[in-house]
Amino acid sequence: MEALERGRLVAFPTETVYGLGADASSAEAVERIFAAKGRPRGHPLIVHVADAAGAEALGCPLGAVGRRLADAFWPGPLTLIVERGPGVVPEATGGRDTVGLRVPDHPLTLALLRAFGRGVAGPSANRFGSVSPTTAAHVVDDLGSAVDLVLDGGPSRVGVESTIVDLTGPEPTLLRPGGIAVVEIEAAIGGPVVDGRRGPARASGMLASHYAPAVPVELIEADAVEEAVERAASAGLRVGLVAPFDHRHRPGWRLPADAGGYAAALYATLREADGSGLDRLLVVPPETGGLRDAVLDRLAKAAAPRDAGRV
């Protein structure tokens, strides 16, 4: 907390991924985040607070729908885009008059946020464009001495980033699928959430290539595994296989069949595969589960050509 007060960078655990935190009311502190991540200044950060009252204390009105969603899902993997209040400097939101707010579900970080009392701006604690960190060791691997303090809260339980819903338009709009399924959000609101993923990229996670490991990723269906392995082998490529079922391919990883379990292990698996000297990584998506949409979104981005949609 003292580090945050002095404008320092503190990496913190959440249930989704680790965040790289700084005082959201200080332009200098926030600038350090962009510098450490190598993130373009125009990409807005999510601001973390201890509870819904903490959001309103920043001068960010949640509105009726926002309060209902906060009641239903905070602390939890849901980010709400609302009007930015004076408790958040414009530098944190790339100059926007809106801000993404979230109450993370992790006891260590909730204690930090309560003690600090202000908002903590915090993107995922990785270099811009690479795979998000789900352990403290991932943060150190990626950012090393660029971060002043890393709080180790164990592996992230959910494993993919929060769902982002924009409440500033005429209808609640999905900007990024994530740790809470859209059907659950619609049930809590009692109405539809519009899919805002088409059209120009509004969230950095919406760029076509993002969350990407260095090894080229190819998405395949379960029944195409054998053929894809043979094709790659005959081209002289060293391939790895990630799949939600038992298999004998080496190097290989077996992830849970349910998208929730799959999501929890996904980023650590992609990092491990990245360190295995592969030419290509074949990935079979999960079959079922409420987080399937979020996992498919991240896999599609991991598989997108390296320079697609980058700014």
Judged by beta carbon, residue 111 or residue 222, the one nearer ligand TXA is: 111
Spatial CB neighbours of 13, under 8 Å, sequence gap ≥ 6:
106, 108, 109, 136, 151, 152, 153, 154, 156
How far apart CA 231 and CA 228 sit, in angstroms, is: 5
How far apart CA 161 and CA 77 sit, in angstroms, is: 7
Judged by beta carbon, residue 203 or residue 263, the one nearer ligand TXA is: 203
Among 30, 52, 55, 99, binds ligand TXA (CB under 6 A): 99
CB atoms within 10 A of CB 205: 22
From 52, 57, 54, select the one nearest 114 (Cα to Cα): 54
Is residue 173 involved in binding Mg ion (CB under 5 A)? no
Judged by beta carbon, residue 124 or residue 135, the one nearer Mg ion is: 124
Is residue 196 involved in binding ligand TXA (CB under 6 A)? no
Is residue 127 involved in binding ligand TXA (CB under 6 A)? no
Is residue 122 involved in binding ligand TXA (CB under 6 A)? yes
Is residue 146 involved in binding ligand TXA (CB under 6 A)? no
Judged by beta carbon, residue 68 or residue 127, the one nearer ligand TXA is: 127
Is residue 89 involved in binding ligand TXA (CB under 6 A)? no
Q: How far is the CB of 72 from Mg ion (least distance, A)?
A: 24
Q: What are the residues binding ligand TXA (CB under 6 A)? A: 14, 16-17, 19, 43-46, 77, 79, 81, 93, 96, 98-100, 102, 104, 122-124, 161-162, 164, 175-176, 202-205
Q: What are the residues binding Mg ion (CB under 5 A)? A: 124
